[in-house]
C-alpha cells in the first residue's frame, strides 16, 4: 500500500494544493487589507512623493487637485476594495511613484530577484548539505567543531554586514568581483557573462546568510540517523561506510531539511531585499522601498501579495516533498 501511494501521489498532491489554495484566499485578503490600513496611517504624504520638489512651489489648489486625482482623500477601505476588484481582472493598478503600470514594474524586476534567490538557495542547500554530512560523520571531531562554530557565527551575523564585508574584501581590496549592478558601467547590453560575474557576490552573500540553518539541520539529522538501529545493522552486515551514509543515513537525515525549505522562504525574501539594496541589484527591493516611503498603494499591495504567495508556496512545497519522501506521512492527512 505504501508503494502504491508513493507511486501515484498525484491525486493527494492535487487535493493538498487545492486546500492550501482555499486557505490562501482569506490570508491574502487579510494581508492586503492590512497593507492599505498601515499605509493610510503612514506619516509619508503620497502627494509630496509623487510631485517631488515641484510640490514645494505649488499652490494649495494644485495640490488639492493632484490629491483628488490620486484618490488620496478616499478611505483606505474604498481604495483597498477598488484595488482588489481590479486585481481580480488582472489590473494591478498604476504605480504613482514609478510612473508605470504595476504589472510592468513587477515584470521587469521579478525575474532578477527570482534568479538571485534561486542561485543563492541552491548554493545554500548544496553547501549546507555537504558541510552537515562531513560534520555528522564524526561528531565531536575537529571538523565537526569547526563546521558548527562557523555555522553559529554566520547565524548571528546580519546579512547587510556580510554584504558590506564582501564588497570591501572582494571588490575593493582584491578587485576580483564587481561591487554591484547587473552589468559593467560601460556596457549597453545585458550579457549572460556579465550577469554571471555580477551575481556572484550578491548570491554568495545571500547563500551564506541561509547556510547555517541547512548545515546544522543536516548535521543533526544525519548524526541521529547514524545512531539508529538500521544503520548499525547495515554496518554489522559489512556494508561500506559510503553505502551506509548515502543509502541509509543521508536519506532519513535529510527529511527535516524538507520542512526547513518552506520555513526559510520569508527569511530568504527579507535577506534578498537587503542584499539587492547593498549591491544595487535591479530586483524588487528598490521598488518595495519606494512603494513604502511614497505610500504607493497599488504597488505596495501587489508586492506584499507576491511575497505572501511566495511564503505560502514555499510551505506547500515543503509539505509535498516531505509527503513524497517520507513513507510514514500521508499527503491526504496533511
Query: For 47-53, what is the mean pLDDT?
Result: 66
Can you give the pLDDT at residue 1? 35
Spans of all domains in the chain: 2-333
Reported pTM: 0.81
Lowest mean pLDDT among 31-35, 146-150, 173-177, 314-318: 314-318
Contacts of residue 32, Cβ cutoff 8 Å, sequence gap at least 6: 80, 83, 84, 301, 304, 305
What radius of gyration do the chain's Cα atoms show? 24
Query: For 98-122, what is the mean pLDDT?
Result: 91
The beta-carbon contacts of 60-64 under 8 Å, at least 24 apart in sequence, are: none
**Reported confidence tier of residue 3, pLDDT bands at 50, 70, 90:** very low
> Who wins on pLDDT, 274 or 317?
274
Contact between 28 and 305 (Cβ < 8 Å):
yes
| Separation CA 110–CA 215 (nearest Å) | 28
Can you give the pLDDT at residue 116? 93
CATH class of 2-333: mainly alpha
Quickly list H helices, 10-101: 10-40, 46-51, 60-70, 76-87
| DSSP three-state, residue 329 | coil
User: Which sign does the torsion angle of CA 316, 319, 321, 324 carry?
Assistant: negative
Q: pLDDT tens-digit profile of 195-205?
A: 899 999 999 99
106, 162, 111, 121: which is closest to 266 by C-alpha? Answer: 121
Asked if pLDDT for residue 220 goes beyond 80, the answer is yes
Amino acid at each position: 500500500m505504501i508503494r502504491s501511494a508513493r507511486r501515484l501521489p498525484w491525486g493527494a498532491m492535487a487535493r493538498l494544493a487545492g486546500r492550501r489554495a482555499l486557505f490562501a484566499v482569506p490570508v491574502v485578503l487579510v494581508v492586503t487589507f492590512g497593507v492599505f490600513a498601515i499605509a493610510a496611517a503612514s506619516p509619508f504624504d503620497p502627494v509630496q512623493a509623487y510631485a517631488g520638489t515641484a510640490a514645494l512651489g505649488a499652490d494649495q489648489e494644485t495640490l488639492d487637485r493632484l490629491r483628488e486625482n490620486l484618490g488620496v482623500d478616499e478611505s483606505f477601505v474604498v481604495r483597498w476594495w477598488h484595488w482588489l476588484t481590479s486585481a481580480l481582472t488582472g489590473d494591478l493598478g498604476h504605480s504613482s511613484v514609478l510612473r508605470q503600470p504595476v504589472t510592468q514594474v513587477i515584470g521587469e524586476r521579478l525575474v532578477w530577484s527570482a534568479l538571485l534567490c534561486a542561485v543563492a538557495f541552491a548554493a545554500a542547500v548544496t553547501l549546507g548539505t555537504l558541510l552537515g554530512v562531513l560534520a555528522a560523520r564524526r561528531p565531536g571531531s575537529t571538523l565537526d567543531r569547526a563546521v558548527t562554530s562557523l555555522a553559529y557565527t554566520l547565524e548571528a551575523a546580519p546579512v547587510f554586514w556580510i554584504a558590506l564585508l564582501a564588497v570591501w574584501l572582494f571588490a575593493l581590496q582584491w578587485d576580483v568581483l564587481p561591487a554591484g549592478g547587473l552589468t559593467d558601467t560601460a556596457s549597453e547590453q545585458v550579457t549572460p557573462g556579465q550577469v554571471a560575474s555580477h551575481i556572484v557576490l550578491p548570491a554568495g552573500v545571500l547563500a551564506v546568510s541561509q547556510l547555517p540553518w541547512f548545515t546544522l539541520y543536516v548535521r543533526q539529522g544525519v548524526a541521529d540517523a547514524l545512531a539508529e538501529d538500521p544503520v548499525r545493522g547495515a554496518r554489522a552486515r559489512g556494508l561500506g561506510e559510503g553505502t551506509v551514509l548515502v543509502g541509509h543515513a543521508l536519506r532519513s537525515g535529510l527529511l527535516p531539511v524538507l520542512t526547513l525549505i518552506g520555513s526559510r522562504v520569508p527569511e530568504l525574501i527579507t535577506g534578498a531585499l537587503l542584499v539587492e539594496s547593498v549591491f544595487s541589484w535591479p530586483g524588487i527591493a528598490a521598488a518595495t522601498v519606494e512603494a513604502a516611503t511614497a505610500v504607493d498603494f497599488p504597488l505596495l499591495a501587489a508586492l506584499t501579495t507576491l511575497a505572501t504567495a511566495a511564503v505560502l508556496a514555499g510551505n506547500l512545497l515543503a509539505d509535498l516533498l516531505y509527503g513524497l519522501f517520507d513513507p510514514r506521512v500521508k499527503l491526504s492527512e496533511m
